[in-house]
Amino acid sequence: MAEAKLAEAPAAAAGAEVLAVKDLQAWYGESHILHGINFNVRAGEVVTLLGRNGAGKTTTLKSVMGIIGKRSGSIRFDNQEIIRASSDRIARKGIAFCPEERGIFSSLDVKENLMLPPVVRSGGLSLEQIFTLFPNLKERLSSQGTKLSGGEQQMLAIARILRTGARFLMLDEPTEGLAPVIIQQIGHTIARLKSEGFTILLVEQNFRFASTVADRYYIVEHGKVIDGFSNSELSANMDKLHTYLGV
């Protein structure tokens, strides 16, 4: 029997440019973090931002989401400029952000954490669809959110944004601190979401994990994209990656 689909097909045609970032500058207070980031993401892709700690990868995701106070340049999503849009308006366009720290509320149980974000667009996953991806969560619905293992908390953080109807997912270091078996499960989940038409922008330091899920890579260093290549070009760029990342 064919596996049931998770959600409706995305609005953008596969392969069409869905996100275009040009000359993105961003500041934390007086600290200038991003110095002209340029990259794009096409519908249905998994694109990974690689780089060392402090390179500007997380700041890039937060800038796209509109949660960096001072930024300039251009961020176009579905051919609409969003550089000056508020984060709630950006969310309603179908973009969701899963932060590295996961943001699980200790005072809420798993179901309450899961149901917390509002549905901003049609096509979000139902609870039953989420449980096909993360069966562990169904067994832990009444457990306090922070009583979950690190892997279960990461599953909950991803599951929570899948309810919202967003089709463009930004995942910040989803494998950080997780056991290999959980990392493998996260990889299977990303592959399943991609097969269902989700578009994913991933930040990772774990290059070996990223290489199992990504279609393309951008290297971020000192607040700029300094290189980029596709998965088919990976072997030819391994020496560069050793230099850039120390992998």
Kindly state the tokens that stand for 90: 């950006």
Give the count of domains, the chain.
Answer: 1
- Give pLDDT tens digits for 165-210: 999 999 999 999 899 999 999 999 999 999 999 999 999 988 889 9
Which residues are bridge partners to 171 per DSSP? 98, 202
pTM over 0.85? The answer is yes
Within a domain: 194 = yes
Within a domain: 73 = no
Contacts of 130 (CB under 8 A, 6+ apart): 114, 137, 159, 162, 163
Within a domain: 132 = yes
Quote the mean pLDDT of the chain.
91
Q: Are 62 and 17 in contact (CB under 8 A)?
A: no
Within a domain: 173 = yes
DSSP state at residue 241: H
Q: What is the pLDDT at residue 207?
A: 87
Which residues are bridge partners to 71 per DSSP? 26
Q: Are 219 and 226 in contact (CB under 8 A)?
A: yes
In degrees, to the nearest 5, what angle opens at C-alpha 46 toward C-alphas 44 and 49?
A: 145
Q: How far apart are CA 242 and CA 6, in angstroms?
A: 37
DSSP state at residue 148: S
3-class SS of residue 133: helix
pLDDT exceeds 90 at position 85: yes
Give the pLDDT band of residue 1 (cuts 50, 70, 90): very low
- Give pLDDT tens digits for 124-180: 899 999 999 999 899 999 998 888 898 999 999 999 999 999 999 999 999 998 999
> Which CATH number fits the domain that encloses residue 56?
3.40.50.300
pLDDT exceeds 60 at position 11: no
Within a domain: 52 = yes
**Secondary-structure breakdown of the chain: helix, strand, coil percentages, each rounded to the nearest 5:** 35, 30, 35
Within a domain: 26 = no
User: Among candidates 139, 79, 78, which has minimal Cα distance to 110?
Assistant: 139
Q: What is the pLDDT at residue 15?
A: 78
Within a domain: 27 = no
Round the CA-based radius of gyration of the chain to a whole number and report it. 17
Structural domain harbouring 186: 46-67+87-245
User: Among candidates 105, 232, 223, which has minimal Cα distance to 157?
Assistant: 105
Within a domain: 230 = yes
Q: What is the pLDDT at residue 10?
A: 47
